[in-house]
Amino acid sequence: SKDAVDSAQTESAEIDVLFASHPGGLDQEQFKPFASTVCGFPSFFAQALFEKLAQPGQAVVARAKCTQWWETNIKHKRPEVRLFHFLREPSNQFVTRADWKKRLACLLDTHPGLDFLKATPEFQDRYLECVVERIYYVNNRACNDKMTQHDISLSNLVRVLKYVDEENDINKVLDYFSYEHFYVLYCKFWELDGDH
């Protein structure tokens, strides 16, 4: 469609601008516009995408790697398909709970509504587990550990992740991410788990 072509041209021009300023490659800070402006991901996914594209031991991601990943996984694709390709491991045609946890871990470090959790790593882990389980409970139609592109396409995940990125109060994000919802669930399970 014309919108997809226009979008691809805009994204390609943005890649040109980014690498005109940084011809040697993008470091983690310079990489954020590639993740958000070019790929359309929430800002908290920038670090995870950087780690996914960076060569081991390299402090920058080269233009060729960014362009190749964009052309394969982003160009002319809907936001849900882009999210699927970002989350999954290259060898899989599905997304696992471990994939979600790995990609969402950056949220714990960057979201202002979760700053208070930094002092309690055990609660960070439980919160992240709860978020992922809530995502799977609602969206994994086969009830297994393999969320498909179709599952993500039928979900509200792109909209909710965008809202998480825009909203400083995590408790206002009622789908999946509310810390208050997590805490109620945690306390109920703690009561049921007699020997803890």
- Kindly report, residue by residue over 140-157, the tens digit of the pLDDT: 999 999 999 999 999 999
Task: Report yes or no: 39 and 70 within 8 Å, Cβ to Cβ.
Answer: yes
The pLDDT of residue 4? 66
Residue 70 in this model has a pLDDT that exceeds 70: yes
Q: Which residues contact 47 (CB under 8 A, 6 or more apart)?
A: 28, 106, 109, 110
Among 60, 63, 10, 59, CA closest to 39: 10
What is the rounded average pLDDT of the residues 105-111? 93
The pLDDT of residue 1? 64
Residue 166 in this model has a pLDDT that exceeds 90: yes
Residue 193 in this model has a pLDDT that exceeds 70: yes
